Amino acid sequence: MDLTILEKIDSTNKYLKEKKYKKNWEIVMAKEQTAGKGRRGKVWNSNKGGAWFSFCFAEDKYLSKTEYGKIPLIAGLAVIKGLEEIEKLNYKIKWPNDVYVGKRKISGILLEKSGDFFIVGIGINVNNVDFGEFKDIGISLNKITDKIYNIEKLVMLVASKFKKEYYRFLRGEWEEILLEIKEKNYLKNRVVEVMVNSEVIKGEVIGINNSAELCIKKNNEIYEIKSGEIRIVYTNN
Ligand code: BTN
């Protein structure tokens, strides 16, 4: 996987999306982003010190949209596997694609599509300590351990872990991958709220199903959520 390192750019996702001739599995990282993008149009605070990177891979025409819905969770698992190699902490996946340590967010993932390519954008708080408007929710490795980490190494690790998991997925190992994801489900047994077709569903998270949907139990009825912003109401465990 080729790595391009940029000093400063608006957004590595935008850079790759707009790049005319994309190479399969090329990675672009920036030391700083001036217009880092989060999901749902949010701004992603990208000061120096974090791992801000994107990589792309060509779509497999044989895979359905439902199959591609599993990619965010696979990316979350890859982030955890990469992080575990440089610092052993209790990382969890907050469905569909955030990584948490304790009650705080250490990483966010933004999956986009450009032509025949998928762009996986990953932000990991590493040596940075200022999270701007996310100060009450963000955390970085440095804040936890006081150590300084090699960002390039982490970027390469996470991207290659993703590639490995993605090929496992293409080989038909989704069930095994899902088991690993389930073990790291941050939302399990928590009471959450999520908007579905302008209706708020409030209930207990009972798990993630085979289609990568979040299963919420409300008054003995199970709701299977395809996408949405999850708000935690309280924790049962
Ligand atoms: C989120 O949690 O809302 C997703 C955040 C994704 C941030 C990364 S940083 C590298 C890449 N470039 C961007 O502009 N966004 C992603």
| CA–CA gap between residue 181 and residue 190 (Å, rounded) | 16
CA 49 → CA 5, 52, 142, distances in Å?
A: 14, 9, 10
Question: Which of 166, 183, 200 is the last residue in one of the domains?
Answer: 183
Give residue 112's pLDDT.
95
Give the 3-state secondary structure of residue 34.
coil
Give residue 211's pLDDT.
95
- Does residue 50 sit in the same domain as residue 80? yes
Phi, psi of 64 (to 5 degrees): -85, 170
- Does residue 212 sit in the same domain as residue 146? no
- Does residue 101 sit in the same domain as residue 203? no
- Does residue 58 sit in the same domain as residue 23? yes
| CA–CA gap between residue 95 and residue 80 (Å, rounded) | 13
- Nearest CA owner, ligand 1 atom 3: 38
Which atom of ligand 1 lies nearest, measured to the CA of 14?
Answer: 14
Ligand 1 centroid–CA 221 distance in Å is: 34
Token digits for 8? 């400063």
Give the 3-state secondary structure of residue 137.
coil
Give residue 61's pLDDT.
86
Q: What is the dihedral of CA 115, 16, 133, 203, to 10 degrees?
A: 40
Give residue 13's pLDDT.
98
Task: Name the residue range of residue 202's domain.
Answer: 190-235
- Does residue 204 sit in the same domain as residue 91? no
- Does residue 103 sit in the same domain as residue 200? no
Residue 100 sits in a domain whose CATH number is: 3.30.930.10
Per run of 10 residues, the mean pLDDT along the chain (length 237 residues) is: 96 97 97 95 94 96 88 97 98 96 96 95 96 89 98 98 97 97 96 88 96 95 90 74
Q: How many domains does the chain have?
A: 2
- Does residue 148 sit in the same domain as residue 95? yes
| CA–CA gap between residue 99 and residue 171 (Å, rounded) | 25
- Nearest CA owner, ligand 1 atom 11: 121
Contact 101, 138 (CB under 8 A): no
CA 117 → CA 19, 97, 112, 236, distances in Å?
A: 11, 19, 9, 40
- Does residue 125 sit in the same domain as residue 27? yes
Ligand 1 centroid–CA 232 distance in Å is: 22
Phi, psi of 38 (to 5 degrees): -105, 180
Give residue 19's pLDDT.
96
Which atom of ligand 1 lies nearest, measured to the CA of 39?
Answer: 3
